[in-house]
Structure 1
Amino acid sequence: MENNGNMVSNPTGEFVASRVREARPFIGFAPLFAWHFCFWFAPTSMPFVDLLSHGVTSAWLAYLASSVAVLFGFAGILRNKRRLRLEGRAYALAPMVLCVLSLLFSYGTVVFGEGMQGAVVAVLLGAVESCCFLLWGERLSSLRYSGTSTDAVVAVSAVVAASFAITMILPGIVAPAFVALLPLLSGFALVREGEARTPSSSTVLKPQAVRKRADRNIAAVSAISGIASAACFFLLTIIPAGNLLGGSWAYG
């Protein structure tokens, strides 16, 4: 540290600050990613239902089917010539709708029962969340990112871990409201990113070799995640969550 009059130089602090600035777009995306994990895997996010009940399991499957259908649908409609973020104010509306649907799903069982979740809300959740991921994907793929992949991974992981821990600690009646705020935080960052861009800016595809390498990594991570998720799910269907170490925390 060097002291020159009133000027104090802190190389370590400046280094950390520069890394945070580089990872800022990923920090904005992270609350949306955190919402997915907190909403579906934190027991406190649904205080009025059992996460392993038939209704929630059916809602989860409907949500997944809706997510995949919307992603493939937009891929066919938009192709590589149009951008979802340029279609009206989608980047501002989608996070707000996701917040409302999250609250309705978590608290709605008191009024509607589990049937409402499986029939309508879960399908809408999957569709709207896919729109949010597409909007962030368009933004992140157009970045001239000069940082490292480690910076992005650490930034997203830190936000997800902190959000999940807070969700598990909060009282059951409050936790769903906190989880519902996560898409709003991500949406606020997305709006700022969107208004900072010019309408003519577009996504530039990476070189083919880079895309192929990324596709292989994505396929490997997806396969590992799928196997691990299936193993955890069948474990919990055989052993009641109450008998596991930590009870409901084991599920999270």
Structure 2
Amino acid sequence: MNEALVRASDTTLSRVVLGPRSKYLGLTTLLAWHYCLWFVPSAFPNTFLLDDRITFSWLIALAAAGVVPLVLAFQLGPRRHLGATPALVWSAAGLGALGTGVLASVGMMVASPWIAYLSAFVIGSCAGVLWVLWGERLACHRARFTLQRVAPMYGGFLLGVVATTYLLPGWSAVAFVCLLPLLSGLLLHVHVRALPDARYPSLLPAKVATEGRSTMVVVTVISFAAAFVCYYTVAIVPWEALGVVQDSFTVGILLGGALILFFALGQRLSPKRRSAYRVYPWLLMFSVVACVLYLTDERLHVVSFLLALAISSLFEILITTYMGVLTLRGYAPPATAFALSSGAIRLGICLGNGTALLYERVPGLHQTLTRPTFVLLVVLMSGLVISMVRQEYAIEELIRTPQAESALATIVSCVAEEFRLSEREREILGLIGQGYTAAAVAEKLVISPYTVNTHIQHIYGKLGIHKRSELISYLHRRD
């Protein structure tokens, strides 16, 4: 009986982690863990949400969640992967849950703040490790990362989990939040078991990937700047303008989840499908609006706060989906792409929040620098809007399958150079990219099918590819 229940449970979880939309649940759970812990007052039953100890713990966790993935990506390089071994998965998930429980309880009760700060560092580090692991696994799964697939899961789950945490009484809310990293770890473990032989996408040759990587850098910088502006605005708004200040953070996150669902619904209902990344300039404009609202009238401070908090979560989803698509197309290894997405948002939030905190704590800075900083940020974001509009075409080209023969010829040429293919192998590779079968290649080149298949096997070996469909997808940068 017990074995049957275990098998049924394992089958159910396997269906979840392999589902077209539910496969993103593990990644979504990590984001929900972050928001439930730091934005819902129930997560700290005995402490005010904006207490100094929680504030500094929040900044430490952000810094760790941004830096740890970047360090991992740098250490791994382009050819190595972190690998979701059971020991690593359960260590990260378990320590993350333990750190959450310690931070909310002992960390808020003892005289010294260092237990809280150490717990926050553990939480951020574990979240960063799990983020990279999920990025790698979804890349192996060939996850498409379209907004129509990611947004419903993210928005719906976030709304449900944040509302549940808010409504749970006392320490039951803390226990619930502690379960979130464990759930993410469980789903990750099941994903590895469900796809034990899944392979990472092959990287494009360096020359072909140059354009994609340069665009990744631009999007990363813009996302970092947007996160900075949003959370500078959130942190600089006076508490008295927010009414019930603790609840305002929860409302802002719920509003962000609702906006993501609304945007995904608009994409689905639109008669003409447009790239989701065209919303980037609009989000940048909304961040400008949040700044202007703050400068215009004190009565609009709460609107500025909620707008900045809500749209920041949209930036997080967009950069994650964008990096996921580029990983699938072979422009960057999963660890690098997901480290950039985490680093851009988390470090931007940390610096923006930290800057506002500095202005508030150093005498005279708040009065003299707050408004000039907002003016400077409005100018900066306006410039980034122009830059992002110029990047739209490049972004759409990168996520679209190249159809022109010239584009295919360029890729074949770069692949041949990078992987040192012989002239005959290069010729056969080009014909396969055009859709020729092995028999058709043999007929066109007037050689035996056996010779063609031998060359194809040599091509597979040099590129680290195992079958024809993978080779064609690689050449055409599609899933």
Band the TM-score falls in, shorter-chain normalisation = 0.7 to 0.9
Residue of structure 2 equivalent to 1:181: 179
- Partners of 1:193 and 1:120 lie apart in 2 by 30
Shift of 1:210: 5.6
Say whether residues 1:229 and 2:238 are aligned partners.
Answer: no
Name the aligned partner's letter for residue 251 of structure 1: F
Where do residues 63-78 of structure 1 align in structure 2 (5 Å cutoff)?
63-78=61-76
| 4+ residue segments displaced more than 4 Å | 209-219
Counterpart residue type for residue 60 of structure 2: A
Structure 1 residue matching 2:83: 3-state secondary structure: helix
How far apart, CA to CA, are the structure 1 residues paired with 2:226 and 2:145? Answer: 27
Alpha-carbon distance, 1:52 to partner = 1.5
Structure 1 partner of 2:239: 239
CA distance in 2, matches of 1:69, 1:28: 21
Give the residue type in structure 2 aligned to 1:226. F
When residues 149 and 213 of structure 1 are mapped into structure 2, their CA distance, relative to the original with a 3 A threshold, is farther
Q: CA deviation at 1:175?
A: 0.9
2:444: which partner in 1?
none
Q: Report the residue type matching 1:78 in the other structure.
A: L
Query: Which sits farther off after the overlay, 181-190 or 45-54?
Result: 45-54
Residue aligning to 2:450: none
Give 1:39 shift: 0.6
TM-score (norm 2): 0.44
Kindly tell me: are residues 119 and 110 of structure 1, through their superposed partners in 2, closer, same or farther at Cα, counting changes over 3 Å? closer
- Cα separation, 1, equivalents of 2:140 and 2:110: 42
Aligned to 2:184, the other structure's residue is in SS state helix
Q: CA contact under 8 A between 2:84 and 2:192: conserved in structure 1?
A: no
Greater mean deviation of Cα atoms: 155-164 or 101-110: 101-110
Q: Which 10-residue stretch deviates more, 200-209 or 186-195? A: 200-209
Gaps of 5+ in 1: 1-16
**Residue pairs, 1:188-227, within 5 angstroms:** 188-198=186-196, 201-205=199-203, 208=209, 216-227=218-229
User: In structure 2, how many angstroms separate the alpha carbons of the residues matched to 1:72 and 1:58?
Assistant: 22
- With the length of structure 1 as denominator, give the TM-score of the two structures: 0.79
Cα contact 2:25–2:154 (8 A) shared by 1: yes
Q: Which amino acid aligns with 1:116?
A: W
Counterpart for residue 170 of structure 2: 172
C-alpha deviation, 1:66, in angstroms: 2.3
2:58 counterpart residue number: 60
Counterpart residue identity of residue 96, structure 1: G
CA distance in 1, matches of 2:239, 2:106: 28
Q: Which has more helix, going by share of residues?
A: 2
- 1:1-252 to 2 correspondences below 5 Å: 21-86=19-84, 89-109=87-107, 111-113=109-111, 115-145=113-143, 148-198=146-196, 201-205=199-203, 208=209, 216-235=218-237, 238-240=238-240, 244-252=242-250
Structure 2, gaps ≥5 residues long: 1-14, 251-479
If asked which structure has higher relative contact order (CA below 8 Å, sep 6+), I would say 1
Asked whether the equivalents of residues 167 and 175 of structure 1 are also in contact (C-alpha less than 8 Å), the reply is yes
User: For residues 211 and 59 of structure 1, what CA distance do their matches in structure 2 show?
Assistant: 33
SS of 2:113's partner is helix
Matched-pair contact (CA < 8 Å) for 1:142–1:204:
no
* d(CA) in 2 for partners of 1:26, 1:199: 19
Return the index of the structure with the highest Cα Rg: 2
Q: Aligned partners of 2:214, 2:155: CA distance in 1, in Å?
A: 24
The alpha carbon displacement at 1:36 in A equals: 0.6
Contact 1:31 / 1:183 at 8 angstroms: preserved in 2? Answer: yes
Q: Deviations over 1:9-47 (max 9, x none)?
A: xxxxxxxx9xx9201210232111100111111111111
Aligned pairs, how many?
231
Q: Percent identity?
A: 24
RMSD: 2.8
Instruction: Please identify, of 161-170 and 80-89, the stretch whose mean Cα deviation from structure 2 is larger.
Output: 80-89
SS at match of 2:171: coil
